[in-house]
Structure 1
Amino acid sequence: MNKALRNPLVFFLFILPALILFTMFFIYPIFSSIYYSFTSWNGVSETVKSAGISNFEKALGDERFWISVKNNGFFILFSCFVQVPLIIFFSLLISNVKKLKGLYKTAVFMPSIMSTAVIGILWGFIYEPNIGLLNKVLGLVGIDPLYWLSDERFAMLSILITNAWQWTGFYIVMVLAAILSIPGELDEAAAIDGATGFQRATRITLPLIVPIISVVIMLSIAGAMKAADIVIVMTKGGPAGSTDVMATYMIKYAITNFKYGYGNAIAVLIFVFTLVVTAVYQLLIARRTERIEY
C-alpha cells in the first residue's frame, strides 16, 4: 500500500476526475468565450465570422455598458460600507445572547437558503406602490406613495437593500463562528480588568476576527461582480436600463438579441474587471491581514 502511494501515477489518477470536470466547466468555457468574443456570431448559424476587436470597442464606447459597470460598483460599495458593518454589528449582538442563540442564527440564515426568485417576488410586494408594506408605513407619517422599482431614483437602492437582506445572514453565521471560536478567557480577563463591553468588542474581538472579515469582503466583492438574478427578477434592468448590471447587459445581447459574439465580449470584460478588482483588494488590503493565532 505504501509503495503504491509513493507512485505519482496514483495521485494523478485520484485528481483526474476533478481535473476533467475543472477543464470541462471552467477552462474550456473561458477559452471558448474569448474565442467567440472576437467574432460576430449570432449563436445559431454554422458560419462564424471574425470581427476583430470591434466587439470590445463597441462595448467600451457604449454608455449603457458603463451604466451597468457603475451599478456593479454600487453593489460593491453597498456591500463593503453598509452590509459589512451591519454584519459585524449583528454578529457581535448575537454572540452576547445567552438564550435562544441557535434560534437567532437560524432566523438570520433563513433568507440565504431561499430562492432569489422568491426573495425578489416577496420584496416586490413590499415595494408595491399601492398596497406595499413600505408605502403603507410611510403613509402613516404623511409621505406620499413612492414607485420604488419604477423610479430611477429608487430602483437601484431597492435592489441593493433586497440583495443585502438575502445574503447578510449567511455572512453573519461566518463571522459569528469566528467570534465564538475566540477563547472565553480573553474576554473574561478584560472584564476583570474593568474593560466595558464596547472596549472588549473593539479592542479584543474585532482585531481577532479581521481575517474572516477580509474573507467576507472578498466574497461580497465577488458576489457583486456576478449579480444578475435579483436584478432580472425585480426590474429586468429597468426602468430604461438604469438598474442593469454587467451580467444582465450581457444576457440581453447574447440571448435576447442573438448577438452571441458581443455577449461573449461582455463576459470577457466582466472576467477582466473582476480580476482587476480582486487583485487590487488583495494587494492593498488582504495581504496586510495577518493570520491571528491565540
Structure 2
Amino acid sequence: MNKALRNPLIYVLFILPAFILFLAFFIYPVFTAVNNSFTSWNGISKNVHYIGFDNYVQAFNDLAFWKSVRNNVYFILFSCFIQVPLIIIFSLLIANVKRFKGLYKTAVFMPSIMSTAVIGILWGFIYNPDFGLANEVLGLFGVSPVYWLSDKNWAMISILITNAWQWTGFYIVMVLAAILSIPKELDEAAAIDGATGFQRATKITLPLIMPIVSVVIMLSIAGAMKAADIVLVMTKGGPAGSTDVMATYMIRYAITSFRHGFGNSIAVLIFVFTIIITVLYQVLIAKRTERIEY
C-alpha cells in the first residue's frame, strides 16, 4: 500500500475525475460565455455573427443595466452592514444560552434549507397589502397599508429583508461553531478579572472569530452578486425594473428576448465584477484578518 502511494500516477488518478468535471462544468462554460458575448446570436440558429464589443458598449450605455448594478450593490451593503452584525449578535446570544441551544440552532437554520420559491411565496403573503402580516402589524399603530412589492420605494428593501431572513441562519451556524470552539478558559479568566459579559464579547470573542466573520462576508458578497431567484419569485424585477439585479437583467435578454450573445456579455460582466470586488476585499480588508491561534 505504501509503495503504491509513492507512485505519482495514483494521485493523478484520484484528481482526474474531479478535474474533468471542473473543466466540463466551469472552465468550458466560462470560455463559451466569453466567446458568445462577442456575437449577435439568438441561442438557437446556426448563424452566429461576431460583432466585437458591441454588446458590452450597449450594456454600459443602458440605464437599466446600471440600475441592476446599483441593486446588486444594495444587496452587498445590506449584507455587510446589517445582516452580518445581526449574525454576530444572534450567534453570541445563542452561544450563551443554557437551555435549548440545539433547538435555537435548528430554528435559525431551517429557512436556509427551504426552497427559495417557497420562501418567496411565503413572504409574498406576509407583504400582501390587503391581509398580509406586515400591514396588520402596522395597522396596530395606525399606519396606512404599504404596497411592499408594487411600490418602487419599498420593493427593494422588502426583497433584501426576505433574502437576509433566508440566509442569516446558515451564517449563524458558521459563526456559532467558531464561538463554541474558543476555549472556555479564556472567558472564565476574563470573568475572574472582573470583565463584564459585553467586554468579554467585544474584547475576546469578537477578535477571535474575525477570520470566520471574514469568510461570512466573502460568501455574502458572492451571494449578492448572483442573486436572482428571490427577485424572480417575488417581483420578476418590477415594478418598472426597480428590483432588477444583474442576473435577472441577463435572464431577460438571454432567455426571454432570445438575445443570447448580449445575455452572455452580462454574464461575463457579473463574473468580472465579482472577481474585482472579492479581490479588493481580500487585499484591503480580509488580508488584515490574521489566523488566530489559541
**TM-score, normalization by structure 1:** 0.99
Deviations 1:143-191 (A, max 9, x none): 1111000000000000000000000000000000000000000000111
The code of the aligned residue for 1:209 comes to I
- Displacement of 1:55 after TM fit? 0.2
Whole-Å separation in 2 of the counterparts to 1:141 and 1:11: 66
Alignment match, 1:4: 4
Partner of 2:224: 224
In the other structure, the counterpart of 1:279 is 279
Q: 2:56 maps to which residue? A: 56
| 1:13 CA displacement | 1.1
Query: Offset at 1:2?
Result: 2.6
Structure 1 vs Structure 2 CA RMSD: 0.6
For 1:249, the equivalent position in structure 2 comes to 249
Distance (whole Å) between structure 1 residues aligned to residue 175 and residue 6 of structure 2:
40
Whole-Å separation in 2 of the counterparts to 1:186 and 1:192: 10
Pairing 1:97–2:91 present: no
Match of 1:236 in 2: 236
User: Amino acid of the residue matched to residue 44 of structure 1?
Assistant: I
Are 1:200 and 2:204 matched, yes or no? no
Cα separation, 2, equivalents of 1:108 and 1:174: 12
Shift of 1:11: 1.2
Hey, what's the Cα distance between the residues in 1 that align with 2:219 and 2:8? 35
Q: Which residue of 2 aligns with 1:74?
A: 74
User: CA–CA distance in 2 between the matches of 1:7 and 1:212?
Assistant: 37
Find the aligned partners of 1:94 and 1:241 in 2 and give their Cα distance. Answer: 39
Distance, in Å, in 1 between the alignment partners of 2:189 and 2:14 is: 49
Note the alpha carbon deviations across 1:39-81, whole angstroms, 9 max, x for none. 0010010111111100000001100000000000000000000
For residues 247-283 of structure 1, the C-alpha deviation after alignment (integer angstroms, 9 at most, x for no partner) is 0000000000000000000000000000000000000
Distance 2:215 2:16 in 1: 29
Counterpart AA for 1:195: A
TM-aligned CA deviation for residue 9 of structure 1: 1.6
Number of residue pairs matched by the alignment: 294
SS in structure 2 of the partner of residue 153 of structure 1: helix
Q: How does 1:133-282 map to 2 (within 5 A)?
A: 133-282=133-282
Give unpaired runs (5+ residues) of structure 2. none
CA offset at residue 4 of structure 1?
2.4
**Could you tell me which amino acid in structure 1 is paired with residue 15 of structure 2?**
I
Q: Does residue 28 of the first structure (1) align with residue 28 of the second (2)? A: yes
1:186-224 Cα deviation digits (max 9, x unpaired): 000111110000000000000100000000000000000
Shift of 1:6: 1.9
* Same amino acid, percent of matched pairs: 77
The equivalent residue for 1:87 is 87
Q: State the alpha-carbon separation in 2 of the partners of residues 195 and 8 from structure 1.
A: 55
Q: Which amino acid aligns with 1:91?
A: S
1:115 aligns to 2:115 (yes or no): yes
SS in 2 for 1:149: coil
Mind listing any 5+ residue stretches in structure 1 that lack a counterpart?
A: none
Distance 2:2 2:130 in 1: 72
Distance in 2, Cα, partners of 1:233 & 1:194: 52
Using structure 2 for the length normalisation, give the TM-score: 0.99
The whole-number CA distance in structure 2 between the counterparts of 1:155 and 1:196 is 42
Whole-angstrom distance in 2 between the partners of 1:254 and 1:140: 45
Output the amino acid matched with 1:212: I
